Structure 1
């Protein structure tokens, strides 16, 4: 009788451990999804700012057509890959950041533009959004790290394998040239 009670107690404890591990995996997977959604929110904000910034600069720098076209093309490309994985998304976002740097460099040549209140407000908004994007990417990568660690470590790796939990991809820049921040000065 005592042996049966001990066996039942062990089974109940193992079952509770199983439930705890499974729920932890689900929670971490949902945290990764939420972190990815936060990146989308910030990128959408940036996509909405770009046309206003381009139009403001266009008014002062009419002969810089190629720069404006490149910004628009990079923005559209980044929006088209919005449902792609982190690697594809990182590449498109890196290209967009580079052309935005060139657009802001064009603005450097126009002192009256640099003094325009609308341009200054848009520039501040873009800077703030870029910072939020950075923080969102960092949070996403931290969430992916926690999730991937959990599904690869014993004993949760057994439960993860049983229920099809798979490793998530980090949001990282793979092209070395994209790691270099554009140098723009507004002084």
Structure 2
């Protein structure tokens, strides 16, 4: 991932937060047949390894897990993003030398991937992932709420994955390279957008002269 110094995100806690908040990541593997990719919900276990370990599962019918992987796998976590129009820049009125851009947050996690079919490990991975997304609910659903035989049959249709993160790259492109007046204009423009996702990005634009 191309990351100019102004946009590099190296803080481990910030990187983990981005991964935790990304509800759907993309698993990419290189194979002899070419690149293969699958959108997946994943869970980050921060207590394993230097950078953490990712867990998830694929449908057994998905050919990605059967294709031998060349090198490390890549998981892409895409955070909030928004289009930025030059019309929001104060510089547009000053000299007009401005162009559109896109603000976004992304984390690329690399590591050796393991696929597994062991029922106990699958049950653990599925249970943890379910708990992660059910816990905010008033009455969370648990895997054990379903009949044991039904769950056992469902597990036969999936394959688990484990990816210890060996290398991680983070990028937070939020207009840090623009003058203060331009950043204020971008934040205000996004805050007034009709897109709810733009409002999230608006709160992430750094303000103040120290970011110019």
TM-score (norm 1): 0.28
Larger radius of gyration: 1
Q: Which has the higher strand share?
A: 2
Name the structure where helix makes up a greater proportion of residues. 1
Q: What is the TM-score when the length of structure 2 is the normalising length?
A: 0.25
Higher relative contact order (CA 8 A, sep 6+): 1
